[in-house]
């Protein structure tokens, strides 16, 4: 895991996945150094990742007070239960449906849950965090948030983009990504992760970007993108084109078999 700092207030715990045919997808969790420290999501659920150990290079896990789970997909919940053990004071910020989804696999103890809906706020000692539903999302539980002190918006899956190289997926600045590759990657991700975007009333859909427009954040931190400073208007333009962009159609069985055949040893080779 790569560790990047964003100003004084936030730290990125950057991981990534190579997605065949798509590119390299950043999978970021964050630490917000509030008076009551907040961990935002808990990384991939792969067995060789030790989220709590990586977190320990940034903050003593025992000091964590809040775990803002933007939604309970498995690329966000990897270290969740280990962190709850390592951080006895921490509570998981999620929604009723978020806690419900988790309860189908491993229920959260209810005294460790803090339910927060879009539009509601939480005081974490030296700042107020306000939840909102990002315009693009892949879970009914998704709630991002805005920190009024650092002026950072945590957008969950929204604005993500697979990157053409591992180096870019591990980078600390989205400005390093060529503009065309960034726009193409964001639209690919939008249609792959939120395929409903093709079915929406365009005017109503753009209305869902109003909360983030009103925040006017200095920095947008997506789970699946390098940190993005000063990019709000570019990102809002991207959203406007998402409903009419090409739908994503994944590889089918024939494509999978062709890919597997390309991995097989040459005919006659001895194994």
Residues of this chain that interact with Fe ion (CB under 5 A) are 73, 75, 138, 157, 223
Residue 240: CB minimum distance to Fe ion, A: 22
Residue 229: CB minimum distance to Fe ion, A: 21
Residue 177: CB minimum distance to Fe ion, A: 18
Nearer Cβ to Fe ion, position 138 or 234? 138
Nearer Cβ to Fe ion, position 91 or 224? 224
Nearer Cβ to Fe ion, position 130 or 222? 222
- Distant-in-sequence, close-in-space partners of 208: CB < 8 Å, separation ≥ 6: 133, 135
Residue 70: CB minimum distance to Fe ion, A: 8
Nearer Cβ to Fe ion, position 31 or 124? 31
Which residue of the chain is nearest Fe ion when measured via CB? Answer: 73
The CA angle 67-163-252, to the nearest 5 degrees, is: 95
Residue 74: CB minimum distance to Fe ion, A: 9
Nearer Cβ to Fe ion, position 124 or 174? 174
Give just the sign of the alpha carbon dihedral 150, 152, 156, 157.
negative
- What is the SS3 string spanning the chain? CEEEEECCCEEEEEEEEEECCCEEEEEEEEEECCCCCEEECCCCCCCCCCHHHHHCCCCCHHHCCEEECCCCCCCCCCCHHHHHHHCCCCEEEECHHHHHHHHCCCCCCHHHEEECCCCCEEECCCCEEEEECCCCCCCCCCCEEEECCCCEEEEECCCCCCECCHHHHCCCCHHHCCHHHHHHHHHHHHHHHCHHHHHCCHHHHHHCCHHHHHHCCCEEEECCCCCEECCHHHHHHHHHHHHHCCCCCCCCHHHHHHHHHHHCCCCCCCC
Residue 203: CB minimum distance to Fe ion, A: 26
Nearer Cβ to Fe ion, position 9 or 75? 75
Residue 260: CB minimum distance to Fe ion, A: 27
Nearer Cβ to Fe ion, position 150 or 223? 223
């Amino acid at each position: 895991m790569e560790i990047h700092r964003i100003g004084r207030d936030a730290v990125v715990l950057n991981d990534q996945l190579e997605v065949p045919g798509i590119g390299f997808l950043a999978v970021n969790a964050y630490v917000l150094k509030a008076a009551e420290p907040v961990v935002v999501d808990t990384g991939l659920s792969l067995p060789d990742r030790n989220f709590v150990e990586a977190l320990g290079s940034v903050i003593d896990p025992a000091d964590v007070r809040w775990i803002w789970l933007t939604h309970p997909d498995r690329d966000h919940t990897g270290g969740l239960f280990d962190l709850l053990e390592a951080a006895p004071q921490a509570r998981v910020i999620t929604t009723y449906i978020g806690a419900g989804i988790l309860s189908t696999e491993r229920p959260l103890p209810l005294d460790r849950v803090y339910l927060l809906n879009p539009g509601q706020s939480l005081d974490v000692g030296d700042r107020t965090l306000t939840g909102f539903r990002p315009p693009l999302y892949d879970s009914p539980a998704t709630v991002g948030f805005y920190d009024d002190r650092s002026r950072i918006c945590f957008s969950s899956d929204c604005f993500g983009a697979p990157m053409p190289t591992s180096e870019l997926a591990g980078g600390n600045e989205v400005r390093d990504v060529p503009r065309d590759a960034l726009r193409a990657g964001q639209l690919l991700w939008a249609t792959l992760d939120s395929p409903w975007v093709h079915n929406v009333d365009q005017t109503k859909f753009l209305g869902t970007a109003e909360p983030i427009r009103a925040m006017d954040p200095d920095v947008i931190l997506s789970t699946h993108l390098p940190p993005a400073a000063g990019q709000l208007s570019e990102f809002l333009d991207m959203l406007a084109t998402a409903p009419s962009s090409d739908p994503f159609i994944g590889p089918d069985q024939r494509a999978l078999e062709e890919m597997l055949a390309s991995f097989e040893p040459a005919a006659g080779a001895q194994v």
